């Protein structure tokens, strides 16, 4: 990953309390896993930003190196990597995701 790509990812992760790197956009997810994440965050009613990795191949590859996580989508809350679709579903079902989002948005 180039330094430019790392800086772009750093900036997105640090400037947004909840950041999702996904296939498509929050208005038009381009895969089922990305759609799952968007639906969960919409149900929680929390503001979040997305980055369409399909529109930016450098970010698509770079985010995998950045997090050492091989799949998309990737969710960051308060600058920390949380996980992908399966992990978000699990955290949502346990009620932990709501708490994480509330803490992030309050800080």
Whether the pLDDT of residue 42 is over 90: the answer is: yes
Residue 90 pLDDT level (bands cut at 50, 70, 90):
very high
CATH architecture for segment(s) 3-101:
3-Layer(aba) Sandwich (3.40)
CA 17 – CA 65 distance, rounded (Å): 21
Question: Per the annotation, where are the binding residues?
Answer: 31
CA distance to 33, 44, 47, 93, per residue, from 96 (Å): 19, 11, 17, 8
pLDDT of residue 107: 85
Sorted by where each begins, the domain ranges of the chain are: 3-101
Mean pLDDT score of the chain: 97
Query: Could you give phi then psi for residue 30, rounded to 5 degrees?
Result: -110, 10
Question: Per the annotation, where are the binding residues for [2Fe-2S] cluster?
Answer: 31
pLDDT of residue 74: 98
Beta bridge partners of 83: 75
């Amino acid at each position: 990953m180039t330094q430019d790509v790392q800086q772009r990812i750093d900036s997105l992760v640090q400037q947004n309390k909840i950041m999702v790197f996904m296939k498509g956009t929050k208005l038009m997810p381009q895969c089922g896993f990305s759609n799952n994440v968007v639906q969960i965050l919409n149900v929680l009613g929390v503001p979040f930003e997305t980055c369409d990795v399909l529109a930016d191949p450098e970010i698509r590859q770079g985010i995998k190196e950045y997090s050492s996580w091989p799949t998309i989508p990737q969710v960051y809350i308060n600058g920390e990597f949380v996980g992908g679709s399966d992990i978000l579903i699990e955290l949502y079902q346990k009620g932990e995701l709501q708490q994480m989002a509330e803490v992030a948005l309050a800080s």
